Amino acid sequence: MDETFTKKLNVTTNKAAVEELDVIELLSTDEMIFYQIIRSDLDGLQRAPRKQTIDNILNYSKSSGK
């Protein structure tokens, strides 16, 4: 009798990781090399905006809500 089920299932539940994998699959070799070089800088920008940037966004949202 043949087995009709999967013994091992590799699932990624982290949405950001899944989206990153989707994007990476579409990159050429040159683009992938470039991405790997600037990856740490991009991660820093994403996670640590300057306080002035946050203040500007908050001030804009307060002024445009009137």
Render pLDDT for 37-46 as a digit per residue (tens, 0 to 9).
Answer: 988 888 777 6
Query: How confident is the model at residue 32, as a pLDDT?
Result: 83
The domain in which residue 20 lies consists of: 15-64
pLDDT value at position 47? Answer: 73
In this structure, is residue 46 part of a structural domain? yes
Asked if residue 58 belongs to a domain, the reply is: yes
Domain assignment of residue 1, yes or no = no
As a whole number, the mean pLDDT across the chain is 75
Whether 6 is covered by a domain: the verdict is no
Show the CA angle centred on residue 54, arms to residues 50 and 55, nearest 5°.
110
* Residue 4 domain-assigned (yes or no): no
- Bigger pLDDT: 64 vs 57: 57
pLDDT at 53 over 80: yes
**Average pLDDT of the residues in 25-29:** 76
| Domains of the chain: total | 1
Query: Does residue 22 fall inside a structural domain?
Result: yes
Q: Does any domain span residue 21? A: yes
